[in-house]
Amino acid sequence: MELNPALTEYLAHLSAERGLSGNTLDAYRRDLNQFIQFIRDRGIDDAQDVCKDDVIAFVVALRRRGLAAATIGRRVTSLRMFSHFLVSEDLINHDLTAGIDLGRSPQRPLPPTLTIAEIDSLLSAPSPDTVLGLRDRAMLELMYGSGLRVSELMTLKTTDVDLTARLVRPFGKRSKERQAPLGDSAADLLMRYLAEARPSLANSASATALFLGERGEPMTRAHFWGSIKRYAEQAGIRKRVTPHTLRHSFATHLLAGGADVRAIQEMLGHASVQTTQRYTRVDVSRLREAYDRAHPRAK
């Protein structure tokens, strides 16, 4: 993927899903635009073509300019976070900063996940007895039940859902389509949404978009992010909840239930199993809990 569109998507993620301020976004934009311009001056436009030497050369160039250590550290951190985002979103299949000592950086924790009880509370928050509540309940059930990216959810068409076969066909990164399983709860709600809610929302601006706003326009990720935040508060969930929280909870709960990592990789649409394997990390307390519960000599 070209670096400029990738940066645009990253900044949209920081704004819509992490709620960063305009000043913070501008700082990230300036730092990463310097890296992109440096790379373009070396004749590279595609993130997949960036190699270890290019990144090292960028860091060396910053040091040669005599910039303060804190300034270099901030730009390096911006680059690392950008690279991690590209990998996590499957926009590239390798970490641009992997194997390069860019300064101390703690191991990134996994994004927060919800417990099954919290998921139940969140999914029950929208009332299926209203048009918008039925739409929102169907969206939440589909995202958690199928592990979709928020961008995939927003771009679904009515023809991308097969209620008979219980499948959904999201259009993922790098224009790659895949098939994801559709749970019974999500299928039932989608059937109701298509029959009862969508017709009352649709107008000439709707085209074939599956999920529609109040004025009939296709739903946006920013609108959906706001809805999730509102329903999380309504459900009494104290954690920070974003659309990505549902996708990460989907993967974590599958793994905890015994699903194979390769199968989860296919369902998430990850190009590399290494991206999926981050869900296999568990902390010591969880290991201890599992040991105490399962081992005959634990107590």
Residue 159 pLDDT? 94
Which one-letter amino acid corresponds to residue 70? A
Q: What is the mean pLDDT of the chain?
A: 82
Reported as a single tens digit per residue, the pLDDT across 148-185 is 988 889 999 999 999 999 999 987 665 577 888 888 89
Its CATH class, for the domain covering 3-88, is mainly alpha
Phi and psi dihedrals of 30, rounded to 5?
A: -65, -45
Q: Which helix (H) or strand (E) holds 192?
A: helix 184-192
Nearest partner of 102 among 119, 82, 116, judged by Cα: 82
Residue 118 pLDDT? 95
pTM across the whole model? 0.61
Pick the CATH number of 116-280 from 1.10.443.10, 1.20.950.20, 2.40.100.10, 1.10.238.10: 1.10.443.10
Of residues 278 and 25, more confidence is placed in: 25
Catalytic residue, from 135, 149, 198, 221: name it. Answer: 149
Nearest partner of 212 among 203, 189, 172, 177, judged by Cα: 203
Q: Which helix (H) or strand (E) holds 69?
A: helix 69-88
Residue 62 pLDDT? 86
253 is catalytic: no
Reported as a single tens digit per residue, the pLDDT across 244-290 is 889 888 888 887 777 777 787 878 877 666 666 666 654 444 545 55
157 is catalytic: no
Catalytic residue, from 75, 80, 173, 253: name it. Answer: 173
- Beta bridge pairs of residue 177: 171
Catalytic residue, from 13, 135, 247, 248: name it. Answer: 247
- Are both 3-88 and 116-280 of the same fold? no
173 is catalytic: yes
Nearest partner of 252 among 239, 237, 267, 233, judged by Cα: 267
Give the domain ranges of the chain. Answer: 3-88, 116-280
Residue 104 pLDDT? 45
Residues 126-132: contacts with CB within 8 Å, 24+ apart? 126/231, 128/189, 128/192, 131/196, 131/197, 131/200, 131/201, 132/197, 132/214
Q: Angle at CA 213, nearest 5°, toward 244 and 23?
A: 55
Joined together, the tokens standing for residue 54 give 């290019």
Q: How far apart are CA 178 and CA 73, in angstroms?
A: 39
Catalytic residue, from 10, 144, 231, 279: name it. Answer: 279
Q: How far apart are CA 28 and CA 30, in angstroms?
A: 6
Percent above pLDDT 70 for the chain: 84
Which one-letter amino acid corresponds to residue 105? S
How many helices (H) and strands (E) would you count in the chain?
14, 3
84 is catalytic: no
223 is catalytic: no
149 is catalytic: yes
Catalytic residue, from 13, 75, 198, 244: name it. Answer: 244
